[in-house]
Amino acid sequence: MSRLKLWLPLAAFAFFVGLAAYMLFTPRDTAVASALVGKQVPDFELPAASSARPGVSIADLTNGQPKLLNIWASWCVPCIAEAPQLETLESAGIPIVGVAIRDSGEDVDRFLDTHGNPYTRIGADDISQVQLSIGSSGVPETFVVDGSGTITYQHIGDIRPEHVPLLIEEWRKAGGR
């Protein structure tokens, strides 16, 4: 009995060290699978968030042309970091529709003047209703939407330079040329 008392704590310690080593060296799956990929964007209509672009509605996402739907805000620091990548995507011919979350028109205009305006349209989502209805929980997030309004891909977080080729590929898979 006394030998068991001696070896049991050592065995428990060895088990936890082994488990910790396994967790440290096993690659994690950091991709978040969205429940809305493959589903239609819900019906919505948002007024313009900026004096520079018209508002957004579901009709803008169901006109046969695939787009990126970018959820962002002027108060969002990662949105500043992704602004150059959105310009790159827009330069590649990808139409980008924006939804500004809980923002003011003046702040949106100031952001666009400072960091560029890659958007064809920008809607004001003052109470995050559209944001929540499409499964977005933060800013920035970007969705690839095919020409019929179906979400085909969701990118969570800011778009970094290494993400641009993947988003172009996903847009092409959605029917973009």
Give residue-wise pLDDT tens across range 44-91: 999 999 999 999 999 999 999 999 999 999 999 999 999 999 999 999
As a whole number, mean pLDDT of residues 122-148 equals 94
What's the pTM value of the predicted model, to 2 decimals? 0.82
Q: Quick one: pLDDT at residue 1? A: 62
Do the beta carbons of residue 57 and residue 46 sit within 8 Å? yes
Q: What are phi and psi of 52, to 5 degrees?
A: -90, -15
As a whole number, mean pLDDT of residues 126-153 equals 94
Q: Please determine, for residue 34, whether its predicted confidence score (pLDDT) is greater than 80.
A: no
